[in-house]
Amino acid sequence: MSRLSDTNIKLAHEIIVRYPRPKSALIPLLHLSQEQNGYITREAMQHLGELVGVTSAEVYGTASFYEMFKFEPVGKYLINICGTMSCALMGANELMHHAEKKLGVKAGGTTPDGVFTLAHAECQAACTEAPTLQVNYRYRLRVTPADLDRLIDNLRDGKLNDEFPPHGVLSKVRQSIDATRAVGAKAPEDVNESPAWLDGKAAL
Amino acid sequence: MSKTYVHAPGFVAGDRPKIVTSRFEFADSYTLERYLATDGYKGLRAALSRPANEIHEDVKSATVLGRGGAGFPAGTKWGLTPQQVWPRYLVVNGDESEPGTYKDRLLMERDPHQLIEGCLIACYAAGLSQCFLYIRGEMAVAQERVVTALNEAYVAGYIGKNILGSKFSVDIILHWGAGAYVVGEETALIESLEGNRGMPRLKPPFFPAANGLYGQPTIVNNVETLANLPWLLTHGVAAYTAIGTKTSPGTRMVAVSGHVKRPGVYEIINGTTTFRDLIYGEEFSGGIRNGNLLKAFVPGGGSAPWFTEDQLDLPFEASQVGPAGSMLGSGAVMVMDETTDIPAAALTLTHFYAHESCGKCTPCREGGTWLERILRRVVEGDGTDADLQQLLEVGAMICPGAFPHAANEKLGLTAVPFPYKMTTICFVGPSAYAPVHSALTLFRSEFEARVKKRVTIPVTAVAGVAANARVSA
Ligand code: FES
């Protein structure tokens, strides 16, 4: 079952109509699909192609460009350890070695129980707080080996379920635009006039 | 007095003017309630009570410089759209991912309404009829904060149809990426927003202001740039230009990371604050850790050529940093102390850009990979002298001619000014070379020490007979 569920199809349509062209919704829809299934399947790409009006090959073409989309199952928790310069200067390599030992897998690997995937990541925009890591794209900063041990134990014991939703979920809040407030998106060829407020007068 | 806040990790406040970080002291700075209690949406009201072209003029005369990397004035950028071509779009670049850079994420997480208000002011002034706010995929909390703020602002009548009861109407759509550094380049950002692989487009003809999203005029502005607008409209052009210098007015956010006593994100006064202030100043990073010596620093994000202590007294002013051989880029200073293994440090950056190459331009796709592999073998102790030469040759395929570097008194080097020539569409290729070139130019002896003397056996030699073996230098 990797086509979008009925609830998610509704959400998908809400997202699609926000854009002047449906294909623009592709990346948000791929995220929605990954949220539902944990990774991106062939069937899912087929379905998303139907929804935005492109072939599944085009969907794969886009999806395969982006690092966050996974085409095989990954652990419930994806641990990305930053290894770019600021973090490397502050001990990121040592942290990675420690994580590999603690989890018993190499960077890129998933633990046999399917709970953790460990990965090397690039700069996470938290460079002053090095070394950094993300669990499902949520931060831990200035991480020591002891912090990492505790984090992994707590994740395994389910103590951090509130903070870290399973892999695939990004924002826990969705944009909602009330129909009475929305301007609505139009295809660019359907707009030929200058915006109403450019009449040389104040808008208020 | 410097202050830090648990709710804004990394941010260090000081006794300096605050244009974009004024609400960071409040734990609930991201809520509409706090925003409204602290002058929120006042700038929008001020803008809407004057004709749009006047607001555009204000932004032009305030010289609000782009804070994404190129430093191009926003007001001028808005003016590059062709007359009478509709619709025009605003795309907000929140894809912060340049190594060393940490500021846009703070602005999105800590003050999302300020960003939204900035977007609204830009749309009003430049006649942009839809706004797409593109946030980096790997920033779940920033997405949550911005989307919550958008939802609140729609309900409260600040976004959507007839904003504040006026004739100004615009939608702001949250869009989020999926992990690709190159998408921070504006034409790649537009490709990505169209649902494609995020590969940069050729300029010309694809200058976004003329031919951007769906082929329409499109303004791409950085998060921090837009976050400046509410304050500008609330306090006026004179108050804005009273801070900083004439060519670099206002403030800017700078992240100092690496081997300093207090790494942090600071809102500094533009144009006058020097690198020495930032790295050694008590109100900033307070010097090198453990009293160590400074070895080198990257002044403007991973793409920037490196500086050493000779450049410490340069101010944060593009017109001085460029001729000195580097760039201010995205406001990211990475500091290396005397203990740093320079070739290994350069490798982390070259690996980054080689890994992030989108593959469109051959010199970047192939050259970046070559640079990384050669450098890795040097770092791992398997390199030869010829490898060092080869690094420079591969680099010259990406950036022909003299590559910018800093002056260095000890080495007797004079500066080669920024920018460089390039054989690629965007800056990813040259950025893979910049750290290699800087490191090799400024610290060649470290590479030489790394290159082992190795015994090579001529291919004609029979196994076991090494009489002709020669020692390569
Ligand atoms: S280098 Fe690790 S977060 Fe930027």
The reported pLDDT for the residue numbered B70 is 86
Cα A83 to ligand 1 centre (Å): 7
Give the one of B170, B171, B196 whose C-beta lies nearest to A62's C-beta.
B196
The DSSP line for A146-182 is HHHHHHHHHHHTTTTTTT-PPTT---SS-----TTT-
Q: Does B465 have pLDDT greater than 90? A: no
Which residues of chain B neighbour A177 with C-beta distances below 8 Å?
Answer: 154, 160, 171
The reported pLDDT for the residue numbered B68 is 87
Q: Does B472 have pLDDT greater than 80? A: no
Give the one of A123, A171, A193 whose C-beta lies nearest to B86's C-beta.
A193
Best residue among B257, B330, B333 to mutate for probing ligand 1, ranked by most atoms within 8 Å of CB: B257
Which atom of ligand 1 sits closest to the CA of residue A126? 3
pLDDT band at residue B69 using 50, 70 and 90 as cut-offs: confident
**Cross-chain residue pair A65–B197, CB shorter than 8 Å:** yes
Domain segments of chain A as ranges: 6-71+171-197, 77-156
| pLDDT tens string B112-142 | 999 999 999 999 999 999 999 999 999 999 9
Which residues of chain B neighbour A170 with C-beta distances below 8 Å?
Answer: 137, 140, 143, 176
The DSSP line for A80-103 is EEE-SHHHHHTTHHHHHHHHHHHH
pLDDT band at residue B458 using 50, 70 and 90 as cut-offs: low
The reported pLDDT for the residue numbered B461 is 46
Q: Which residues pair with B220 in a beta bridge?
A: B91
Which residues of chain B neighbour A86 with C-beta distances below 8 Å?
Answer: 99-100, 257-258, 263, 334
Q: Does B456 have pLDDT greater than 80? A: no
- Cβ(A121) – ligand 1 distance below 6 Å: no
Q: Does B52 have pLDDT greater than 90? A: yes
E strands, B108-192, where? 130-135, 171-176
Which atom of ligand 1 sits closest to the CA of residue A87? 2
Could you tell me which chain A residue has the CA closest to the CA of B174? A175
The reported pLDDT for the residue numbered B325 is 98
Range with lowest mean pLDDT among B66-80, B214-228, B455-469: B455-469
Tokens read off for B383 = 């390199």
* Maximum distance among all Cα pairs of chain B, rounded to whole angstroms: 91
| pLDDT tens string B99-109 | 999 999 999 99
C-beta neighbour count of A38 within 10 angstroms: 20
**Contact assessment for residue B391 and residue B435, using Cβ atoms and an 8 Å cutoff:** no
Q: Does B467 have pLDDT greater than 70? A: no
Q: Does B452 have pLDDT greater than 90? A: no
**CA atoms of B428 and B251, how far apart (whole Å):** 27
Q: Does B18 have pLDDT greater than 50? A: yes
Range with lowest mean pLDDT among B23-27, B63-67, B461-465: B461-465
Could you report how far apart the first and last alpha carbons of chain B are, in Å?
Answer: 56
**Cross-chain residue pair B9–A69, CB shorter than 8 Å:** no
| pLDDT tens string B417-430 | 999 999 999 999 99
**CA atoms of A67 and A124, how far apart (whole Å):** 13
Eight-state DSSP code of residue B293 = P
Mean pLDDT of A74-85: 97
For chain A, percent of residues with pLDDT exceeding 90: 99
The residue that leads in pLDDT, A2 or A24, is A24
- Cβ(A134) – ligand 1 distance below 6 Å: no
Q: Does B327 have pLDDT greater than 50? A: yes
**CA atoms of B193 and A93, how far apart (whole Å):** 34
The reported pLDDT for the residue numbered B471 is 41
**Cross-chain residue pair B166–A130, CB shorter than 8 Å:** no
Give the one of A69, A85, A185 whose C-beta lies nearest to B99's C-beta.
A85
**Contact assessment for residue B47 and residue B55, using Cβ atoms and an 8 Å cutoff:** yes
**Do A6-71+171-197 and A77-156 show the same overall fold?**
no
- Cβ(B99) – ligand 1 distance below 6 Å: yes
Helix locations, chain A, DSSP H: 6-16, 26-37, 42-52, 56-63, 85-89, 92-103, 145-156
Residue reference for tokens 């829809």: A29
| pLDDT tens string A120-164 | 999 999 999 999 999 999 999 999 999 999 999 999 999 999 999
| pLDDT tens string A169-184 | 999 999 999 999 999 9
The reported pLDDT for the residue numbered B457 is 54
Could you tell me which chain A residue has the CA closest to the CA of B132? A19
| pLDDT tens string B386-410 | 999 999 999 999 999 999 999 999 9
Q: Does A40 have pLDDT greater than 90? A: yes
Sheet containing B332-337: order of strands? B264-269, B251-258, B332-337, B294-298
Q: What is the mean pLDDT of chain B?
A: 94
The CA distance from B363 to the nearest CA of chain A, in Å, is 19
**CA atoms of B221 and B99, how far apart (whole Å):** 19
Could you tell me which chain B residue has the CA closest to the CA of A122? B352
Architecture of domain A77-156: 3-Layer(aba) Sandwich (3.40)
**Cross-chain residue pair A85–B258, CB shorter than 8 Å:** yes
pLDDT band at residue B1 using 50, 70 and 90 as cut-offs: confident
Mean pLDDT of A23-47: 98
**B279 Cβ partners below 8 Å, 6+ apart?**
B256, B260, B285, B287, B288, B294, B297, B312, B333, B335
pTM summary value: 0.95
The CA distance from B175 to the nearest CA of chain A, in Å, is 7
Q: Does B355 have pLDDT greater than 90? A: yes
For chain B, the 3-state helix, strand and coil shares in percent, each to the nearest 5, are 40, 15, 45
- Cβ(A127) – ligand 1 distance below 6 Å: yes
Range with lowest mean pLDDT among A116-130, B154-168, B456-470: B456-470
Q: Which residues of B78-111 are buried (b: 16+ CB within 10 A; e: fewer)?
A: beebeeeebbbbbbbbbbbbbbbbbbbbbbbbbb
Q: Which of B167, B190, B266, B351 to mutate to test the interface with A (most CBs of A within 10 A)?
A: B167
| pLDDT tens string A60-70 | 999 999 999 99
pLDDT band at residue B459 using 50, 70 and 90 as cut-offs: low
**B113 Cβ partners below 8 Å, 6+ apart?**
B30, B32, B35, B40, B41, B149, B152, B153
Which CATH code, of 1.10.10.10, 1.10.3370.10, 3.30.460.80, 1.10.10.1590, is assigned to A6-71+171-197? 1.10.10.1590
